Amino acid sequence: MFLKRLRMTLEMIRFEHSVFALPFALTGALLAFRESSFAVERKGWIVLWIVVAMVGARSAAMAFNRLVDAEIDARNPRTKSRHIPAGLLSRPFCWGFTALTSLIFLFAAWELNELCFHLAPLALGVVFAYSFTKRFTHLSHLVLGFALGIAPAAAWIAVRGSLDPRILWLTAAVTTWTAGFDVIYSCQDFEFDSESELFSVPKVFGIANALLIAKLLHVAMIFSLLLLVYQLHLGALSLVGVAAVTGLLVYEHGLVKPTDLSKVNAAFFTMNGWVSVLFFVFWAADIFLIRQPL
């Protein structure tokens, strides 16, 4: 019974979608290793604990979100079949899962370094706070983006024990990327949000303008990545990675029309998975081929 509930919990939090933010966190770690000329002890363990921390934090945040939004999900035709409103998982079990994965995240942060451990409760506060923002602000998409965007900066701190302001361009890139695709995804709930007391960009500006705002957010992502390339003196492969991301985002926006949202899931899940993976592949190759910062 426990294993069945655990499997359903992993389905509920879409565990496989950890791929969205993890490559950006690992890129932040690799950039930090590069700044140290790869002369860092325990490199393998650091990467391992970064992965554990990322998975723990995301799992806790997703489970918490499903708990907080259970009543809203039950009223929304699109989400009423989710595990908690459908009665497939109990609230106590999901609260236990949230607590366990939060502790895993805190333990991983403790294993990394003192600063990571001290900042870990703040990071949890940010990812938990997102679940409430749609009740009072149209900027909830940016809050979600920032919740994922702190990952590469946190990975940098995990490697170097301090924060370099330059890595915040990667935080900005992940923040605007996530906010952009979350705006696209929220277009599906335009009618429900309009009839409820929830806040979203599509509710305020309409679907057509919301899709335009999503495009502008993704332009900001590309601009942030180019600034990071310049700031850290990265090579040509990183620019190829930015070009690949740009092409995927253009294709993603081509899938969704104001009058046709039938391909939102393909744009949200499939294309954004490819964005993060291809970004990591090209940037990791660049980092390893040009090992010394200039």
Residue 29: which CATH number? 1.10.357.140
Q: What is the pLDDT of residues 66-84, one digit of tens each?
A: 999 999 999 999 989 888 9
- Residue range 246-272: mean pLDDT, rounded: 87
- Mean pLDDT estimate for the chain: 91
Whether 227 is covered by a domain: the verdict is yes
| pLDDT bracket for residue 196 (50, 70, 90) | confident
> Could you tell me the residue range of the domain that residue 220 belongs to?
2-289
Closest to 181 measured CA to CA, from 265, 247, 62: 265
Whether 294 is covered by a domain: the verdict is no
Exposed / middle / buried, residue 220 (Cβ in 10 Å: 0-12, 13-18, 19+): middle
Whether 152 is covered by a domain: the verdict is yes
Whether 247 is covered by a domain: the verdict is yes
Lowest-confidence region among 91-100, 120-129, 188-197: 188-197
- Backbone phi and psi for residue 113, each to the nearest 5 degrees, phi listed first: -165, 175
Q: What is the pLDDT of residues 15-55, one digit of tens each?
A: 767 777 899 999 999 999 998 878 777 889 999 999 999 99
Exposed / middle / buried, residue 231 (Cβ in 10 Å: 0-12, 13-18, 19+): middle
Structure tokens at 274: 């490819």
Instruction: Count how many domains the chain has.
Output: 1
pLDDT at 294: 47
From CA 103, how far away is CA 67, in angstroms rounded? Answer: 18
Whether 245 is covered by a domain: the verdict is yes
Long-range contacts of 123-131 (CB under 8 A, 24+ apart): 123/57, 123/150, 123/154, 124/57, 124/60, 124/61, 126/150, 127/57, 127/58, 127/60, 127/61, 127/64, 128/60, 128/61, 128/64, 130/61, 130/65, 131/61, 131/64, 131/65, 131/68, 131/69
pLDDT at 291: 55
From CA 148, how far away is CA 276, in angstroms rounded? Answer: 12
- pTM of the predicted structure, to 2 decimals: 0.94
Q: What is the pLDDT of residues 83-113, one digit of tens each?
A: 899 888 899 999 999 999 999 999 999 999 9
Top pLDDT among 8 and 104 is at 104
Whether 89 is covered by a domain: the verdict is yes
**Chain centroid offset of residue 167 CA:** 16
Cα–Cα distances (Å) from 65 to 13, 14, 62, 150, 227, in that order, read 9, 12, 5, 18, 33
The residues, any chain, with a CB within 8 Å of residue 55's CB and separated by 6 or more, are 18, 22, 104
Whether 265 is covered by a domain: the verdict is yes
In the block, tokens 């007391």 appear at: 197
From CA 37, how far away is CA 281, in angstroms rounded? Answer: 20
Whether 119 is covered by a domain: the verdict is yes
In the block, tokens 């995927």 appear at: 248
